[in-house]
Amino acid sequence: MSTVLEPIELPGWAWEHAGVRQALRVRDIGAVFRHVQQYTGASQARIATAAGMTQARVNEIINGRREVSRLDVYERIAHGLRMPDGARHLLGLAAGGERCGDGAAYDLAAFPEVVRVYAAQSSAAQDIRNQTSEARELDVLAVRGLGLIGLNDSLLRTCLSRRTGGKGIRVRVALLDPESPVLARRAAEIGESAESLASGVCLAEARLRELTDVCDISVYRYRTLPTWRVIRTDATMFVGAFDTGWEGHESATYKVMETPQGPLFRGFRRMFEAVIDEAERTV
């Protein structure tokens, strides 16, 4: 008779099943756990022990009430389920004991960073809120940011003051400098007056200043033409683009997660840090 202390080991062929491979590619851990139950008969308690979680957390994941986003949790799950290297790669993890040497080549399809694509920010809204509610850090690169964080009913504002006993989540927001020469160009791209766009940035900045009592927030003004719209919550990013004729929230939104060899997350994070380094802090 099996016990919760016994290791969980799927037959080799199970990791090659199309449903399992797809679940790993999109990091749907709830589906992975359901497949584990199907192929091994493991209880939620056994899965929890193997993955270093509580049974209640496993239940939430299986029933779609919680997602896994942290890289260290993926690693615990992979170790606890004794995933073979092929399955680990699909999940975005290095092979067991693997090290990257000079000249090594990787199939980037085996290291998926883009785990979801949404038609627009509105489609990703709940996912973004869920990620922000669990995050320790939040970075935002926007133009004026009113719909993201500047207004009472904006996407992120209600997620920031949930912690008690301190300043809570660390937030950095980069907004387009209302005095920058490129602001008029951006305003023309979206059919708005420069005065209106500049006023929106100033309003967002003033409203963000109000958050200094509820979270550790800093606000910056950058002066380059907006290209990427970025929301980073710890090891997860939601990335859209600014272009002629549309605003950032109208862009398709890519959910990008940090992986050991993936360049996208690292590149966007490096870009954000470069923007901050060249920007003027106002809050």
Longest dimension (CA), the chain: 73
Determine the length of the chain: 283
Could you give the residue range(s) of every CATH 1.10.260.40 domain in the chain?
12-93
Could you give the residue range(s) of every CATH 3.30.870.10 domain in the chain?
114-281
The domain covering 12-93 belongs, at the CATH homologous superfamily level, to lambda repressor-like DNA-binding domains (1.10.260.40)
With a cut of 70, say whether residue 105 has pLDDT above it. no
CATH class of the domain whose range is 114-281: alpha beta
Among the residue ranges 31-35, 93-97, 108-112, 202-206, the one predicted with the least confidence is 108-112
Sign of the four-CA dihedral 39, 42, 43, 45: negative
pLDDT at 263: 87
Distance CA 29, CA 35 (A): 10
Tokens of 273: 């840090």
Region 84-94 average pLDDT? 84
